[in-house]
Structures are given as C-alpha cells and as structure tokens.
C-alpha cells in the first residue's frame, strides 16, 4: 500500500501539524509556562501560616459507563445501576490562623463531561467551584479528578444537568466543611517513581500506520492524528517505544494519604487501593501526564473502548499493568512509612 499523498516525498519539519498550527501551540505553551512561573513566584512571596484539614463526603451521580450505557430517558436511569464506582468526595480545607477559609480542594471519580458542545466551560466541576466560592467569599475552590476513566455523569448533554451535578458536588463538600474535620500535622512527605509498563504487541511499523490511516480518517476519535504523529517520529529517525515509564506518586500530608496517578485511570484502581491503604485514602488521577486510558486487569479482559486506547497504537497495554501499578504504589507507601 502506498503512502497517502501528504507523505510521499515530503521531509516534514512540523509533524502532523501545519506550520501555523505549530506556531499556535508553541506560542500558547510559552504563554502558559510564563504564567505558571509568575504564579509560582507570587505564591512563594505570599506564604502565610495556615491550618490544613481533611475529610470525605459522598455524591452519587457518577455511573459506570461500561455497563450502564447512555440512556434516552431519566426513567430508565432511575432503576438500580450496576458496575464498580467510587462516590467518595475527598476534601482538603485550608484555613488561615484566624479561622478564615482560604482554600478548599475537592475531588470526584467521574469524567467531567456532562457537556459535549465546543464551548468553553468547566462543566460540573466548574459549576461546583462557582457554588463554593459564592458560599465562601474570598476562598479559592480547586477540583481534582479521581479514577473516573470509565465513569460518566448520567444523564448528561445539557447545561442544566451540569449545573445540577455541580450543585450536588458542592453540597457534598459543604457538608464535609460544616462537620468536624481531621486537622493535619505540618509533616509533608512525597515519593515519586516511574514504573515500566509493557504493551501486548510490538510497536507499529510504518506500514502498519499507513494501512490504519484510511480507516482512522473516517473516525472522530481517535482519528488519524496519533498515527500521523507516530509516522512523523519514524520519519525523523526515532524508535517507537516498546514500553512506557508511568509516573506514580505517594504523598503524606500530615496524616492524610494521597495517591497520584497519571492519565485516565479506571475506577478499579481506586477500589483496590482503598482496600489496601484504607478507605480514607485520597486518590488523584489525570496527573503529570496524559497518554491515554489506564485499564485494570478486568477492563483488559472485557475489552472495548477503555481497554483499546493505548499509546502503543497497535495492541493494548500488557496484562500485568494493574499488578505493576498497584505494586509500585505500595512500594512508595512503604518508603513513606505507610
């Protein structure tokens, strides 16, 4: 099979992006870096003594989307739903010495995807932050996503539902804030490692990628972009990875345990880690990197969407992915004395 026209005889210097697109990416990246550096400096120059507390609430709008497909009516969703979920709402409260609420950090294990239109919106998490900042003037509300790669808010697709879920989540956080919370000591310990994860198949060849392009061109997701990017790398003389170094972190904020995982992690990891480390463990996903879905052994066995989107492009993650990640977290927890 011959290469598509745009790849025939071309020595590309911009990859799958046009020069104009690439310039936009570079410009945006530089601007973002400058803002982060500036914000970090402002934070370092405005440090103040605080007390930190932790607690956990509950919100029940996340639904396991692999088992409970999107329905057409609310009545269908009113029946008992199936599949693993994590409805916990981890909350960290930051207070000034005077008792004034300075910030609240909260999480939830669910895709932040009530909405599907191409407009700027914080979705349910943004509406939750807005509600909390209205309720607690002067405080900053921050959201983190948990292991919700196979979880959706259902029903969805309307702004009204996004507002509803945002208010539901904010109410769960307010309930935690209104009750006695665990005050954390000032000890902070952080551990980090990268776990080598394998793939089920060898890296794709140039011919594999070329053959996949026509089919991918007809799809909105994942679309041809990933294959084009890998073709570009091969054309630059790069060797495609046969494994992936996956970042994992374990933090101890006082007495609060926090596990930090990269990319879109399915809920099984949250369930399993809480069985081992305790149900009061906070688990953050979508952190550090975003290379695709991180399936569990169960999801790999079952196949389908979350099991098949893999950075290797051909094949899936290796069958031992869950064992390696859980073991890596436990090793870091051991180093932190937990």
Q: What is the pLDDT of residues 16-72, one digit of tens each?
A: 678 898 899 999 999 999 999 999 999 999 999 999 999 999 999 999 998 887 765
pLDDT at site 309: 81
Tokens in use for 67? 């088992």
Q: For residues 261 and 247, give the distance between their C-alpha atoms in angstroms, rounded to a whole number.
A: 7
> pLDDT by residue (tens digit) across 157-166?
999 999 999 9
* CA 199 vs CA 23, 214, 247, 301: distances in Å: 33, 24, 16, 14
Arithmetic mean of pLDDT, 97-116: 95
Residue 277 corresponds to which tokens in the numbers above?
Answer: 């480390």
Count of H-run helices and E-run strands, the chain: 10, 13
CB-hemisphere CA count at 13 Å for 92? 24
Least confident of 48-52, 141-145, 225-229: 225-229
Which is higher by pLDDT, 15 or 81? 81
pTM, to two decimals:
0.89
275-310 pLDDT tens trace: 999 999 999 999 999 888 999 999 999 998 899 888
Does the pLDDT value for residue 136 go beyond 60? yes
- Which sequence spans correspond to the domains of the chain? 50-184, 188-203+241-335
Q: Mean pLDDT, to the nearest integer, of 135-156?
A: 96
- Residue 4: pLDDT above 50? no
DSSP state of 99: S
Contacts 24+ apart (CB under 8 A), 3-6: 3/210, 4/210, 4/213
Assign 50 to helix, strand or coil: strand
- DSSP structural state of residue 256: E
pLDDT at 9: 36
Question: pLDDT: is 125 or 315 the higher one?
Answer: 125
pLDDT band at 13 (very low <50, low <70, confident <90, very high): very low
> What's the CA gap between 305 and 44, in Å, rounded?
43
- Rounded to whole angstroms, the Cα distance separating 302 from 319 reads 12
**Phi, psi torsion values for 175, nearest 5 degrees:** -60, -45
d(CA 226, CA 234): 12
């Amino acid at each position: 099979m011959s290469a598509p026209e745009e790849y025939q005889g071309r020595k590309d210097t911009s990859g799958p992006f046009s020069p104009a697109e690439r310039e936009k990416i570079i410009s945006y990246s530089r601007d973002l870096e400058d803002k982060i550096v500036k914000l970090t400096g402002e934070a370092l120059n405005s440090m103040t003594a605080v007390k930190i507390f932790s607690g956990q609430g509950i919100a029940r709008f996340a639904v396991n989307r692999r088992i409970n497909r999107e329905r057409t009516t609310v009545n269908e969703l009113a029946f008992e739903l199936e599949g693993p979920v994590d409805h916990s709402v981890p909350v960290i409260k930051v207070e000034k010495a005077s008792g004034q609420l300075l910030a609240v950090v909260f999480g939830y294990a669910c895709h932040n995807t009530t909405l599907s239109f191409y407009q700027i919106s914080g979705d349910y998490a943004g509406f939750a932050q807005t509600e909390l900042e209205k309720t607690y003037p002067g405080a900053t509300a921050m959201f983190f996503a948990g292991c919700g790669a196979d979880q959706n808010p259902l029903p969805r697709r309307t702004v009204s539902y996004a507002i509803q879920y945002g208010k539901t989540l904010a109410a769960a956080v307010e309930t935690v804030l209104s009750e006695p919370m665990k005050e954390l000591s000032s000890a902070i310990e952080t551990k980090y490692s990268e776990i080598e994860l394998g793939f089920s198949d060898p890296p794709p060849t140039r011919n594999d990628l070329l053959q996949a392009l026509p089919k991918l061109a007809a799809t909105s997701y994942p679309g041809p972009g990933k294959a084009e990017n890998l073709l570009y790398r091969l054309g630059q003389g790069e060797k495609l990875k046969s494994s992936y170094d996956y970042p994992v972190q374990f933090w101890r904020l006082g007495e609060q345990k926090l596990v930090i995982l990269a990319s879109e992690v399915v809920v099984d990891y949250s369930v399993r880690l809480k069985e081992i480390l305790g149900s009061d463990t906070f688990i953050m996903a979508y952190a550090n990197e975003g290379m695709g879905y991180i399936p569990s052994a169960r999801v790999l066995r079952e196949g389908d969407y979350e099991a098949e989107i893999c950075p290797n492009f051909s094949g899936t993650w290796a069958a031992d992915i869950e064992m390696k990640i859980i073991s890596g977290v436990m090793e870091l927890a051991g180093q932190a004395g937990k």
